[in-house]
Amino acid sequence: MKNGELKEIIGKTLGVDDKKINEAYVAQPKAYEQHTDSLSKQTREDHIALYHGYIKSFNDVSANLDTALNPSSMPILNPNNSRYRSLKQNETLCRNAVYLHELYFANSADVNSQIMMESLTFIRLQREFGTFDEWQMDFIACALTAGVGWAVCGYDMFLKRYHNFFIDDHDMHVPIGVYPIIVIDMWEHAAKDYRNDRKAYVISQVMELNWSVIEERMVRAEAMAEVLR
């Protein structure tokens, strides 16, 4: 679908003239096929539907922001009671929800998951965490101590090293300047097949990480760090 068509749909949904939606960005869903026995078909389908919902919300927020400021009649702008502030909060929330889901879907559900000892990923994680097992233990600890949120391993552009951390919700405790490399969804909807056993869920996801996708991200992150040097 072209951006123009999407803007027309968004304009109709919001009841605004789509010609006025000039600066809005438009995110489009990507297709993911997750062939795995670690998650039920129903959970996978529900998760993709949820991701589509976040994309719709993200695009709606974008279009609303595009028409939120009018120089001739400025809206209320303060940190306590402002539609503009609410839209900016929702923008970050939906943006992160969309891209964290895309990162997670792409780096998961590899039933033939295998990390090569000569790969950049293995060498870097071993170098920076002592051993690969220590990286894994730290990553799982981040996942299990996350609230409703995400476990992430990313490349820190300031410290020039890999770093495990968690995000609560989609937008809390997000370190600036970190490029995400490995992402696991720790929301209850993702782990519902495991009921309350978050540990069993996390281990199932770590065992099915797609190391080829992760390796490509790592190469890209280090190339970006070189440019920023």
> CB of 201: closest distance to Fe ion in angstroms?
12
Q: Could you give the 3-state DSSP secondary structure of residue 152?
A: strand
Segment interacting with Fe ion (CB under 5 A) among 2-10, 114-122, 184-192, 208-216: 184-192
What is the x/- site pattern for Fe ion, positions 19-48, by CB under 5 A? ------------------------------
Q: How far is the CB of 24 from Fe ion (least distance, A)?
A: 24
Q: Which two tokens stand for residue 151?
A: 């476990």
- Minimum distance, C-beta of residue 190 to Fe ion, in the bound complex (Å): 5
Is 187 a binding residue for Fe ion by CB under 5 A? The answer is yes
Q: Is 105 in the site for Fe ion (CB under 5 A)?
A: no
Rounded CA-CA distance 77/85 in Å is: 8
Query: Facing residues of 165 across strands?
Result: 152
Contact 193, 173 (CB under 8 A): no
- Classified as helix, coil or strand, 155 is strand
Q: To which residue do tokens 């929330």 refer?
A: 93
Instruction: Give me the residue whose beta carbon is nearest to Fe ion.
Output: 185
| Contact call for residue 185 and Fe ion (CB under 5 A) | yes
Beta carbon nearer to Fe ion, 7 or 170 = 170
Q: What strands lie across the sheet with 149-156, from one edge to the other?
A: 161-168, 149-156, 178-185
Interacting residues toward Fe ion by CB under 5 A? 185, 187, 190
